[in-house]
Chains A and B, each alone.
Chain A
Amino acid sequence: MLHIKTPKTGRARRELKKIAPKLVETGKKTLILHGTKTSNVINNVLTEIYHLKKDNAVKYTKRNDNIRPFESGGETSLEFYSLKTDCSLFVFGSHSKKRPDNLVIGRTYDHHIYDLVEVGVENFKSMLSFSYDKKFAPLIGSKPFFAFIGEGFENVEELKHIKEVLLDLFNGQVVTNLNLAGLDRVFVCTAVSSNKVFFTHCALRMKKSGTIVPRMELVEVGPSMDLVIRRHRLADESLRKQSLKTAPELKMRKEKNVSRDIIEGKIGKVYIPDQQVGSVPLPNKSKGLKRERREAKTKGVGKTHVDKKPKQQDS
């Protein structure tokens, strides 16, 4: 006999529902963790990334000695933590002689590693080192702007990749309705060379300009750092295809027989089935169409007789 387990409380049921696959996903959670050895820089970077993403991030504080995302077998416990915390983005910090101040940013699909980017952190400037008017400080969980500068983001494969990863990491929730008054932060990424990205976080000041579009002004609030790309692994092509699928229910169906015109507006085509003129009975029988009485007499007698018989039997 099959045994099934269902949650005993409504709360547990709701929690399970939250982590179940959805048609429209609400936003990715981020797991922040580190290896056995970390430098001061990496510690600060991880805490500040956690601060930026505090609304949906999980930070682990223990040292993890068996996580090596790029090596086979080194990702098992990472995938397990991703499943455990229901996170599909992770930032893993480590520090070694070979790769000082190392940061691995990766994504998971179905709790298996999807793609990875390894970067080294240089010229790190903490949030605390910036002095600015605190009333401009961005609020937690606000929807950020992104500005990517430099042709490298289009031509160099690694930079193209990190652009997508950074966008996914800091993007937060995909929203359809946006409050314009709540916009208060910008992430600026500049491709300095073919493997170096200058990354900074700015607050946004909207000033009156006389038109409906306010004049934007950026105030650097940090953290800011240089990301030097080391290793990267792109997603498997078939997996990528699968992960980019959208539900057929959500796809916009083409509306048939409706077109739009600038002058006439919405135009619809209506198809009417053929009129079957022959089968339509005439409104009133004209005298010419009536059969003659004589004809009815000669033919009708036999007919009525035959018709009647089965009727009687029927009843």
Chain B
Amino acid sequence: MSEQNSNFEVDLGNLMAFDPHRHFSTPPSREELVKESLQQGTKLVQAIADSLFSLTSTEDRDGPIVKLPPPTTRLPREKPLPKPRPPTKWEEFAKKKGIKNYKKDKQVFDEQTGTWKRRFGYDRVNDDNDVPIIEAKLTDEPGQDPFAKRRTEKKQRVEKQEKNRLHNLKDAAKVGALPSHVQLAATSLPITGTQAAPKKISKDELGNVAGMAATATASGGKFDKKLVGEKPLKHDKKYRKFLPVVEGSGMGSLERQQTDKVLNKLLSTSSHNILDVNKAVNFYNVKKDKKRKHQGKISSTSSKLKSKKSPYKKMSKKGSSSEGKSKRS
């Protein structure tokens, strides 16, 4: 909101005024200069005040408060704009499924004790630890402690959540949108905007690299002079393992397992070529969905029946046709 106020440029956002018409051809004496500047400065400040005091103000205890317009002289930022955090796996999933967040009460009525309890945390409702007796079921395996089972399951769930959290943080770190309080351990400095702290190579890592370089001779580093402080090679022999050829149990069966593994891999890859099961199933599901939607639009009682029947009928045909299509695409 810069305005021309009797040849002054006024930037109200910065409380700045500029007189571009003044010119000193001959350097004036010191006193003159100071006097002249102050005079001119007073005029400029008066010009700012004129527009400043004409703004609508609200009365406060400490004085009148005005709302300043945004400044016209743009000053650079000190740090780049924060990047938006990419959606987490759950957020993506929830968006796809149309799941919406809603507020839950903090307190929940516990029917067992007949009191209100916290939903989460200490002394929470339906806590597994509070259950004194677990009724046996037919499916229970004998000799298994149901309490211990619950505990391990809980532990696993917590671990899984931690893993997911780290995964999401990693994704955020990739685009440089880590929350300000989180720091990847590799970077010692706080992360600000674009700055990626350079990774320091540790002493051990350097030693390893040096060791690797030393073996890159014809003799595998056997006759090279060792430097002062250079560590001996960690593994100076060849990596070879001979399995017993005679079949038996334990180590004896390893050889068989090894060959089995290779064969299985080969067979499984070649079987994939014949029919991509995943693709075929997907193809089938999508087609079914489409059909259902289409028929939903027409929606009559009689057509509902038909749609139910038709997929089973056509399946045998489609199985063969989908193969061909999936290969082409």
Residues of A at the B interface (CB closer than 8 Å) are: 1-7, 13, 16-17, 19-23, 25, 28, 83, 88, 107-111, 114, 123, 143-151, 153-154, 163-164, 167-168, 171, 174-183, 186, 188, 190-193, 198, 200, 202, 204, 212-218, 220, 224, 235, 240, 242-245, 247, 310-311, 313-314
Contact of B41 among A178, A188, A245 (CB under 8 A): A188
Say how far B11's CB is from chain A's closest CB, in angstroms.
8
B190 x A16 contact (CB < 8 A): yes
Residues of A within 8 A of B62 (CB): 179, 181-182
B42 x A151 contact (CB < 8 A): no
Contact of A19 among B41, B46, B63, B190 (CB under 8 A): B190
Contact of A313 among B24, B60, B78, B305 (CB under 8 A): B305
Q: Mark B176-206, 1 if CB is under 8 A from A, else 0.
A: 0000111111100110111100000000000
- Complex alpha-carbon distance, A163 and B17, angstroms: 12
Say how far B310's CB is from chain A's closest CB, in angstroms.
15
Quick one: which of B53-70 are within 8 Å of A by CB? 53-54, 57, 60, 62-68
Pick from B14, B15, B23, B74 the residue with the most CB of A within 10 Å: B15
B78 x A25 contact (CB < 8 A): yes
Residues of B within 8 A of A163 (CB): 18
B166 x A198 contact (CB < 8 A): no
B180 x A171 contact (CB < 8 A): no
Residues of A within 8 A of B33 (CB): 190, 192, 198
Say how far A216's CB is from chain B's closest CB, in angstroms.
5
- Complex alpha-carbon distance, A175 and B28, angstroms: 37
B73 interface residue (CB < 8 Å to A): yes
B301 x A5 contact (CB < 8 A): no
B157 interface residue (CB < 8 Å to A): no
A212 x B68 contact (CB < 8 A): no
Pick from B20, B21, B60, B189 the residue with the most CB of A within 10 Å: B20
B13 x A174 contact (CB < 8 A): yes
B48 interface residue (CB < 8 Å to A): yes
B42 x A16 contact (CB < 8 A): no
Residues of A within 8 A of B3 (CB): none
Closest 8 CB pairs of A and B: A181-B63, A20-B180, A88-B78, A243-B76, A3-B185, A146-B16, A188-B41, A147-B44
Residues of B within 8 A of A147 (CB): 16-19, 40-41, 44-45
B128 interface residue (CB < 8 Å to A): no
B286 interface residue (CB < 8 Å to A): no
Residues of B at the A interface (CB closer than 8 Å) are: 13-24, 27-28, 30, 33-34, 36-38, 40-42, 44-46, 48-50, 52-54, 57, 60, 62-68, 71, 73-82, 166, 169-170, 180-186, 189-190, 192-195, 301-302, 304-305
Besides A2-B185, A21-B193, A180-B64, 11 other A-B contacts (C-beta < 8 A):
A2-B169, A25-B79, A148-B44, A164-B73, A176-B68, A177-B67, A182-B63, A192-B27, A215-B46, A216-B42, A240-B76
- Complex alpha-carbon distance, A311 and B169, angstroms: 55
B14 x A4 contact (CB < 8 A): no
Chain A residue at minimal CB-CB distance from B186: A3
Contact of B195 among A16, A110, A193 (CB under 8 A): A110
Residues of A within 8 A of B45 (CB): 145, 147, 186, 204, 216, 218
- Complex alpha-carbon distance, A238 and B170, angstroms: 29
Say how far A214's CB is from chain B's closest CB, in angstroms.
7
Residues of A within 8 A of B57 (CB): 180
Chain A residue at minimal CB-CB distance from B75: A168
A202 x B23 contact (CB < 8 A): no
Say how far A231's CB is from chain B's closest CB, in angstroms.
20
Residues of B within 8 A of A149 (CB): 18-19, 22, 37, 40-41, 44
- Complex alpha-carbon distance, A213 and B184, angstroms: 56
- Complex alpha-carbon distance, A314 and B30, angstroms: 104
Say how far A284's CB is from chain B's closest CB, in angstroms.
27
B20 x A151 contact (CB < 8 A): yes
A5 x B192 contact (CB < 8 A): no
Contact of A2 among B36, B82, B184 (CB under 8 A): B184
B48 x A145 contact (CB < 8 A): yes
A-B contact pairs, 10 of them (CB 8 A): A6-B183, A88-B78, A109-B80, A148-B44, A151-B22, A151-B23, A188-B41, A213-B53, A218-B41, A314-B304
Chain B residue at minimal CB-CB distance from A175: B68
B27 x A109 contact (CB < 8 A): no
Contact of B34 among A28, A148, A186, A220 (CB under 8 A): A220
Contact of B15 among A16, A143, A215, A218 (CB under 8 A): A143
Residues of B within 8 A of A177 (CB): 65-68
Say how far A122's CB is from chain B's closest CB, in angstroms.
11
B17 x A217 contact (CB < 8 A): no
A148 x B63 contact (CB < 8 A): no
Say how far A240's CB is from chain B's closest CB, in angstroms.
7
